[in-house]
Amino acid sequence: MLEAIVYVVLLTDLMVHGDLIPDGTTLAVERSMRNDWKGSGLCRDATPEEIALYEEDNGASDGGGARLAGEIDALREEHEALGEQVTTLQVEVTDLEGQKKALQEEVAALEKAKKAAAK
């Protein structure tokens, strides 16, 4: 008889059949293995969101490629927005440097006037 498959998330790195599986990995395992691992503190039950991501990555015909493509597009948009923000901040820095120079010149002129008034 086949055992029920349950989804777990590893709480620690685990070596299985010579392969290192990092903590945080979602796996589909038999209930008996889940019980052993959970009893040993090696895993926890996966949330519905984690199960959906696992099934999308491992059950979808494209292996989760559509989700990854969406994430890549979102990262590209974020990169472009950050690039624009950097450009804006560089202009602001240049403006502030000009203001700083003007203030330094004004301070120097005031100090010169102060010395002249003290004489």
pTM for the structure as a whole: 0.48
Residues 6+ apart with CB under 8 A from 22: 10, 13
How confident is the model at residue 67, as a pLDDT? 66
Residue spans of the domains in the chain: they are 1-59, 65-119
pLDDT in tens, 7-65: 999 999 989 899 999 999 999 999 999 999 999 999 999 999 998 888 888 865 555 56
Of 10, 4, 2, 7, the residue nearest 59 (C-alpha): 7
pLDDT in tens, 76-109: 999 999 999 999 999 999 999 999 999 999 999 9
Q: For the domain bounded by 1-59, which CATH number is listed? A: 3.40.5
